[in-house]
């Protein structure tokens, strides 16, 4: 009898999603190993001293900077990770993500970057008002600002510059699109779109962490295509792709690695944690390869929120 697989779960806290993942791995005969980011110690000179016996590490770390460093070190020990440190570095960088999506022809919102208040104001004049100023890293809909005039924009930009960090000195400026009171969160695992949900809110920031309500969303061929293309361009195997409905069709808002799925669980009968566990264990056994970039049009298996596989 083969020995059980040891799957490291890199985490900050055990939320509802992590509880379900731990149970899913145990139910499949694997041994999940909790790797709390605050407790980890790595010996950079002699990594064998701190190298755990693991077949794969699944990233569920809430602190992105710590998570990427830890993933990179696990990879240096020959331990595969999902997602990879490179994919997570890209996904956590809105500037790089947007540029890669645009280069690959994946529809995304018009976005500009500037490094000075005056040049940022010039860029906003080109984008037109209202416009959105976002941090280059971060999640949960935090530190977003919608500005309606140059005066309001200058106030926000000067405040960001006064914060002093490198990230606040890079101004990520995006066109504002009036949403129909919702956007889409599409959950991708490998080459499959598992499910999708609408995130509905009266506020222009339609994020569950900001109080948005999740509702079922059909996985149409268009939804599946753009979500899978976005995930593959960034290189994430498990991801939440945020889409927005525009007059020109669906466009990508963000690509999220290590994504939460608490809201999505309320809108689908699919066992999200079980699907993730199956994929991770297949990868650990070498039965699946990481998803690769493909421009073939994927198919949705049904108009409901059921898995869609790339053709």
Question: Which residues lie below 8 Å from residue 143, measured CB to CB, with a gap of 6+?
Answer: 134, 135
Work out the average pLDDT over 92-96: 94
The pLDDT tens digits for 12-32 are 999 999 999 999 999 999 999
Query: Residue 267: pLDDT band by 50, 70, 90 thresholds?
Result: confident
Q: What total of structural domains would you count in the chain?
A: 3
Evaluate whether residue 231 is within a structural domain: yes
In this prediction, residue 160 carries a pLDDT of 86
**Domain-embedded: residue 96:** no
Looking at the domain assignment, is residue 104 inside a domain?
no
Within a domain: residue 65? yes
Same domain, 81 and 133: no
Is 41 in a helix, a strand, or coil?
coil
Q: Decide: 241 and 255 in contact? Cβ < 8 Å.
A: yes
Residue 223 lies in a domain: yes
Domain shared by 203 and 125, yes or no: no
pLDDT band at 11 (very low <50, low <70, confident <90, very high): very high
Note the pLDDT of residue 139: 59
Residue 170 sits in a domain of what CATH number?
3.30.1490.20
Residues 43 and 118 in one domain: no
Q: What global pTM score does this model have?
A: 0.86
Output the pLDDT for position 308. Answer: 40
Owning domain of residue 134: 110-175
> Which residue's structure tokens are 């018009």?
110
Listed as own residue / partner, the contacts of 15-23 with beta carbons closer than 8 Å and 24 or more positions apart are 15/260, 15/262, 16/262, 17/60, 17/260, 17/261, 17/262, 17/273, 18/60, 20/272, 20/273, 21/58, 21/60, 21/273, 21/276, 21/277, 23/273
Task: Say if CB 175 and CB 111 are below 8 A apart.
Answer: yes
Last residue of a domain, one of 91, 123, 138: 91
In a domain, 82, yes or no: yes
Q: What is the pLDDT of residue 291?
A: 57
Read off the CATH number of the domain in which 224 is found.
Answer: 3.30.470.20
Q: Are residues 118 and 59 in the same domain?
A: no
Q: Do 239 and 282 lie in a common domain?
A: yes
Tell me the pLDDT of the chain averaged across its residues.
87
Residue 129: its pLDDT value, please? Answer: 96
Instruction: Tell me: cis bond preceding 83? Omega within 30 of 0 counts.
Output: yes
In this prediction, residues 169-186 reach a mean pLDDT of: 91
Q: What is the pLDDT of residue 168?
A: 76
Q: What would the pLDDT profile of 197-228 be if each residue is shown by its tens digit? A: 999 887 667 666 666 788 999 999 999 999 99
From 147, 175, 203, the end of a domain falls on: 175
Start-to-end Cα distance in the chain: 36
| Same domain (yes/no): 188, 299 | yes
By the 8 A CB rule, do 188 and 308 touch? no
pLDDT tens across 150-173, in order?
999 999 999 888 876 666 779 999
**Coil, strand or helix at 62:** coil
Is residue 231 located within the same domain as residue 249?
yes
Reading the block at residue 279, the tokens are 């994929």
Same-domain status, 188 and 170: no
Same domain? 299 vs 245: yes
Among 119, 148, 175, which residue terminates a domain?
175
Position 159 scores a pLDDT of: 85
Would 244 be classed as within a structural domain?
A: yes
User: Does residue 59 belong to any structural domain of this protein?
Assistant: yes
| Residue that the structure tokens 């064998």 belong to | 48
């Amino acid at each position: 009898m083969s020995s059980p697989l040891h799957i490291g779960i890199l985490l900050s806290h055990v939320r509802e999603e992590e509880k379900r993942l731990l149970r899913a791995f145990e139910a499949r005969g694997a041994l999940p190993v909790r790797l709390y980011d605050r407790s980890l110690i790595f010996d950079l000179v002699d990594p064998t001293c701190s190298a755990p016996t693991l077949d794969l590490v699944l990233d569920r770390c809430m602190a992105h900077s710590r998570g990427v460093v830890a993933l990179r070190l696990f990879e240096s020990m020959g331990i595969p990770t999902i997602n990879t440190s490179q994919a997570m570095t890209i996904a956590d960088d809105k500037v790089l993500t947007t540029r890669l999506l645009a280069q690959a022809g994946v529809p995304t919102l018009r976005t500009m970057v500037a490094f000075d208040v005056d040049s940022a104001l010039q860029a906003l004049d080109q984008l037109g008002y209202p416009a959105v100023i976002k941090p280059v890293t971060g999640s949960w809909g935090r530190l977003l600002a919608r500005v309606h005039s140059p005066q309001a924009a200058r106030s926000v930009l000067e405040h960001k510059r006064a914060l002093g960090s490198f990230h606040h000195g890079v101004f990520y400026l995006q066109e504002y699109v009036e949403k129909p009171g919702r956007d889409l969160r599409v959950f991708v695992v490998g080459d499959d779109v598992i499910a999708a949900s609408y995130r509905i809110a009266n506020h222009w920031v339609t994020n569950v962490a900001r109080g948005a309500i999740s509702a079922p969303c059909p996985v149409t061929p268009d939804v599946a295509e753009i979500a899978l293309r976005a995930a593959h361009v960034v290189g994430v195997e498990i991801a939440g792709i945020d889409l927005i409905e525009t007059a020109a069709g669906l466009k990508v808002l963000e690509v999220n690695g290590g994504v939460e799925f608490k809201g999505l669980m309320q809108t689908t009968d699919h066992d999200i944690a079980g699907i993730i566990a199956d994929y991770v264990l297949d990868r650990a056994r070498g039965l699946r390869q990481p998803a690769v970039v493909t421009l073939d049009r994927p198919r949705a298996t049904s108009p409901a929120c059921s898995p869609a596989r790339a053709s």
